[in-house]
Amino acid sequence: MSRVQVSSHPLVAHHVVALRDPATKPPEFRRTVGQITRLLAVEATTTVPTKDVCVPTPLGEAKGRRIAERIAIVPILRAGLGMAEGLIELIPDAEVWHIGLYRDETTLRPQEYYNKLPANCGASMAIVVDPMLATGGSAIRTCEILHAAGIPRIIFLALIAAPQGVERLAEAMPHVAIHVAALDEGLNDVGFIVPGLGDAGDRQFGTSARH
């Protein structure tokens, strides 16, 4: 677990409780996903390179810094969409690339069905977002796609992770920085995180009979 950064921020812990609660309805669930994502992003991007700038103010000029990298936000469809929205508020100039994967519930292996990377993948950093890092299959496949496209630096953000998924991702992609809001006990016999929060996609978009 040495390669994963589990947030110790009290606000993150507070909001995770709301995500786990079955009584939390989709609108509140989506808001909370965005809040946690923004907090995680602040922790995960402390080493992003910046350049010195000088900007005018009403009373003169001020020295400052601006991000010096071309950043791509990569949500794993569909559950990653809510996290991407939270990130865009922080980094409005970032590009958004979509990768669609679903997990075969028999083999638990990721199946790719959508890939919307640009013709010129010239970003110097990609932030991959997916609420749940369970078996690690979708995370690994997404990072493989980005690595093959020439992205030199990848950060992976998840809300809830299982030790099995963290270990698999860290072993397969040792240069990927992993940041999560909570690290749970493990996986059940069908590959869902326990205690987890249920299906993050269904709970965000109201597609489950039980929210």
Q: Which of 3, 38, 70, 202 is catalytic?
A: 202
Could you confirm whether domain 4-205 is CATH 3.40.50.2020?
yes
Query: To which residue do tokens 């978009």 refer?
Result: 205
SS3 of 27, please?
A: helix
pTM: 0.90
Q: Which of 20, 31, 70, 103 is catalytic?
A: 103
Question: What does the alpha-carbon distance between residue 45 and residue 179 come to, in Å, rounded to a whole number?
Answer: 10
pLDDT tens-digit map of 153-181: 999 999 999 999 999 999 999 999 999 99
Q: Number of C-alpha atoms within 13 angstroms, CB side, residue 88?
A: 11
31 flagged as catalytic: no
107 flagged as catalytic: yes
103 flagged as catalytic: yes
Amino acid symbol at 79:
A
Q: Which of 47, 57, 107, 189 is catalytic?
A: 107
Q: Which of 199, 203, 207, 210 is catalytic?
A: 199
pLDDT tens-digit map of 46-55: 989 999 999 9
pLDDT tens-digit map of 77-126: 888 999 999 899 999 999 999 999 877 777 767 888 888 888 888 889 99
199 flagged as catalytic: yes
Centre a 10 Å sphere on the Cβ of residue 186 and count the other Cβ atoms it contains.
14
